[in-house]
Copies of this chain bind each other. A is one copy, B any other.
C-alpha cells in the first residue's frame, strides 16, 4: 500500500499530521511519501501541482490531501492558483466519483443552525460527479458575442456537457451505494431548462431499471436546495453533476453545523482515490494549533475502506472518533459549554489513545 501525503496550505499541514499519526497507530504496513501542493508548491516550484507531485499521486494507491488556498494567491493568474491543483488531480487521476457524507453526530446537534428535531440523526450521502460538467467542458474563454442580447460586445463563456458513459458510471456508483444503505436515490437535475440535465435524467432513469430494488426519484436543483433546508432527513443518497454537487454538498455539510467533522472521498474507476476533509484551508487559524483534525482523520478511514481494502482498520478509526466525542473532547469549532476544549494535537492524541 502506497499513500501520497499532500498536506497543502493553511491548516492542511496541522490536520494531516494528526491523520498520519492515527494511521501509524493502526500497525498497518504502508509506504508513504509527502509532497507539496497548492500555494506551498507554487512558492517552492512555481506551480500548484508540480510534475513530481502529480507523478507521486498517480503512482500511489491513495492520496491523503489536506487543503489548499489562501487569499494571498488571489491575484495570481488562474492557472497558478492553489485550487488548480485539486482540479488537476481530479482530471489527471480520473477521480469521477465524489462521496460527500453529511452526518450530524448526536453530540453535536447543538452546533447546527437548524432546530434539533430537523437535524438530529441526519445521514445523507451526496455523490457528486467530479470530472465532467461545466468544470472541464470545452470550448470556454472570451470572444465577441455573435448572438444574445448584445451582439458585437465582449462576452465570456463556458461549456456544460455530459456524455452517456459519464452519466452511466456515476449513476451506477449511486445505485450501488444506495443498495448498502436505505435503497433510495434522489437524482438532482435542471431538466426543465438544460439539455445536459434532461440527458442526465433520461440516463439515470435508464440505469435505474437495472436496480429495481432501489427507489429513484428526481428533483430540480432549486427545489433540492430548498428541501435540504426544510427537511434534510428526507434525503438518503443524492446523485448530481459537478456544478450542482459543488453547491448542494456544501449546503448539506453546513446544515450539520460541524463541517470540521466531515470527510470526503474522490474515486476513479480502479478505486484509486483522493481523501480530504470537506472544509477548506482556513488561513485565518493556520499555525495556531486549534483546527479540528477529525474530518481529515475520518478521511483517512474512508481511504482505508475504499482504496486500501482495510475495512476493519477504518472501523477502528471511526469507533475511536466516536469514543473521543463521547468523552467530551472538542476543538474550538465544535466546542460548547460542558465540554472540554482541546487543540489539534490533543485531539489527534486522543484518537490514537482510543485506538
Residues 140-167 (chain A) with a chain B CB within 8 angstroms: 140-142, 145, 147-150, 153-166
Taking CB atoms, residues of chain B closer than 8 Å to A349 are none
* Residue in B83, B87, B149 whose CB lies within 8 Å of A166: B149
Taking CB atoms, residues of chain B closer than 8 Å to A250 are 222-223, 225-226
- For residue A248, CB closer than 8 A to chain B, the reply is yes
Question: A150 near B166 (CB under 8 angstroms)?
Answer: yes
Taking CB atoms, residues of chain B closer than 8 Å to A83 are 192
- For residue A198, CB closer than 8 A to chain B, the reply is yes
Question: A131 near B159 (CB under 8 angstroms)?
Answer: no
Q: Whose C-beta in chain B lies nearest to the C-beta of A221?
A: B247
Chain A 229-254 interface mask (CB, 8 Å, partner B; 1/0): 11000000000000110111111011
Q: Whose C-beta in chain B lies nearest to the C-beta of A138?
A: B147
Taking CB atoms, residues of chain B closer than 8 Å to A88 are none
Q: Whose C-beta in chain B lies nearest to the C-beta of A87?
A: B193
Q: Report the separation of the CA atoms of residues A114 and B115 in the bound assembly, to the nearest whole angstrom.
A: 6
- For residue A271, CB closer than 8 A to chain B, the reply is no
Point out which of A153, A162, A163, A259 has the most chain B C-beta atoms below 10 A from its C-beta: A163
Question: A157 near B159 (CB under 8 angstroms)?
Answer: yes
Question: B148 near A155 (CB under 8 angstroms)?
Answer: no
Taking CB atoms, residues of chain B closer than 8 Å to A200 are 156
* Residue in B78, B113, B131, B162 whose CB lies within 8 Å of A198: B78
Question: B153 near A195 (CB under 8 angstroms)?
Answer: no
Q: Which 4 A-B pairs have the closest CB atoms?
A: A156-B199, A155-B163, A226-B254, A157-B161
- For residue A137, CB closer than 8 A to chain B, the reply is yes
Given A148-B132, A150-B163: A156 in contact with B115 (beta carbons within 8 A): no
Q: Whose C-beta in chain B lies nearest to the C-beta of A83?
A: B192
- For residue A135, CB closer than 8 A to chain B, the reply is yes
Question: B154 near A157 (CB under 8 angstroms)?
Answer: no
Taking CB atoms, residues of chain B closer than 8 Å to A150 are 163-166
Residues 190-224 (chain A) with a chain B CB within 8 angstroms: 190, 192-196, 198-200, 221-223
Please name 13 pairs of A and B residues whose Cβ atoms are closer than 8 Å in the assembled complex, sorted by A: A94-B149, A131-B149, A134-B160, A145-B161, A148-B161, A156-B198, A157-B159, A157-B162, A225-B251, A227-B254, A228-B251, A229-B251, A229-B254
Question: B251 near A226 (CB under 8 angstroms)?
Answer: yes
Q: Report the separation of the CA atoms of residues A202 and B142 in the bound assembly, to the nearest whole angstrom.
A: 13
- For residue A282, CB closer than 8 A to chain B, the reply is no
Q: Report the separation of the CA atoms of residues A231 and B226 in the bound assembly, to the nearest whole angstrom.
A: 16
- For residue A105, CB closer than 8 A to chain B, the reply is no
* Residue in B164, B195, B227 whose CB lies within 8 Å of A158: B195
Question: A221 near B195 (CB under 8 angstroms)?
Answer: no
